[in-house]
Amino acid sequence: MIPVQGVDGHCVAVLGLGRSGLSAARALRAGGADVLCWDDNPAAREGAAEEGFDIRQFRSAEDFADVASLIVSPGIPHLYPEPNKVVAAAQEAGVPVDNDIGLFFRSLATSEWDNLDTTPRVIAVTGSNGKSTTSALIHHILREAGRAAQLAGNIGRGVLDIDPPGEGGVVVLELSSYQTDLARALTPDVAVFTNLSPDHLDRHGGLGGYFAAKRRLFAEGGPDRAIIGVDEPEGLFLAGQLAEAPGDDRVIRVSVDRKLTGPGWQVFARKGFLSEYRKGRQVASIDLRRIKGLPGAHNHQNACCAFAACRTLGLNPKAIEAAMQSFAGLPHRSQMVAEKDGVRFVNDSKATNVDAALMALLAFERIRWICGGLEKEGGLAGLKDGLGHVTKAYVIGREAAAFAVQLEGVEVEVCTTMSHAVMRAMEDAQSGETVLLAPAAASFDQYDSFERRGEDFIAEVKARL
């Protein structure tokens, strides 16, 4: 646990008692705070009370008279589409609002670090797609190379649940826009921006607000090194804002669209080969085609970002390549489930938006595509470049028929349920084809998470093999 600093004797409120909220409450108590907790879920309140936390319902600004700050869980809106009523009351009372990420960054460093030869480092990864795989891959490479590393944030453990890092330790954080948007402290040593595509637009008041939330990790934090995917205008803009000159190697540009040139530090992938260039000269190369856990251009981008992050910590390219070979990938992200009679079954349930689904479609040929769910803003036009890889689409979800009519030029079967879609895809599939779950939509019309959707796909496949 990371005890929160600067709260001894203060009264601090915690709103939302899920994983991050409870870990924040525990860390605040360990730092000497008097902690008040609230969650609209009675079971969550009961669980916190059993741990000895005081429960208080906050109805108005007057309820915050003795509160020094409010810590809010990531899923609770603080501005758009409208502030949560408790957050609004705290703001009306002038009470600062923060989250567990802000508490982490202000509490990680201690006086004990003065006795360390190599101080701990924090690598923070954000972006629309690929941040989980990138974070997990960095963590895997570091561990394989013998470095002490912990994985936390939006993946793995809550940030305040981790062990205080010791000599040369590295903390790898995956951070969502919900987390970067509100944190009052953001000071990573290395910050990674994978890419940007429209997502969570209602929560951020549009694409500009969404990008601004991501940008805070770099603008507020001032990392020693910034690794920026430059295949979208926003990433290119961000890299330009951070660099002092074309040769400023504090900014590492990453691409899977083109070869990067110039006097700076670049990492890019073309035709399955990762290349590292510094001062206009190639210094390293990796054949990514042989790495089974990283299929497709989207995973090659993840590999480039992870490679660059590990290079900033002094790892040599051969060690990074060797570690990548043993990376198995993450569940629900281009996860190979099974193979039978020449047909592969791949679970990419995490492809909850159009850009992520497009990358999955481009990673395979001759696809029996299971898609559909709770459609996000912007429609499905962005899938056009990948539809040529689709032999047939099997659409699930409550609005499957409406989803299906947007898939122009593709043979479509409306299945509604996962069970029916898997059954029909398996009946139709031929050797050399891939049955791919890449929904291009959220899961909440039928499942409570993309994980449950992916687990259902896996169960249906295995039941029929």
Annotated binding site: 127-133
**What is the pairing mode between strands 335-340 and 343-347?**
antiparallel
- In sequence order, what E strands does 348-421 have? 367-371, 390-396, 412-416
Residue 123 Cα distances to 134, 153, 226, 312, angstroms: 11, 11, 10, 10
- Alpha carbon distance 444, 374 (integer Å): 6
Residue 365 Cα distances to 34, 181, 333, 340, 421, angstroms: 58, 38, 17, 17, 19
Buried b / exposed e along 343-355 (16+ C-beta atoms within 10 A): bbbbbbbbbbbbb
**What is the pairing mode between strands 170-174 and 190-193?**
unpaired
- Alpha carbon distance 228, 130 (integer Å): 13
DSSP 173-217: EE--HHHHHH-S----SEEEE------SHHHHTSHHHHHHHHHHH
Of the candidates 58, 20, 19, 68, the one whose C-alpha atom is nearest the C-alpha of residue 37 is 58
Sheet holding 251-255, edge to edge: 149-153, 170-174, 121-126, 190-193, 225-229, 251-255, 265-270, 273-278, 281-287
- How many residues are given for the chain? 465
Binding site listing for ATP: 127-133
**What is the pairing mode between strands 121-126 and 190-193?**
parallel
- Alpha carbon distance 374, 322 (integer Å): 40
| 47 burial type by CB count under 10 A (0-12 exposed, 13-18 middle, 19+ buried) | middle
Helix (H, G, I), strand (E, B) or coil at 6: coil
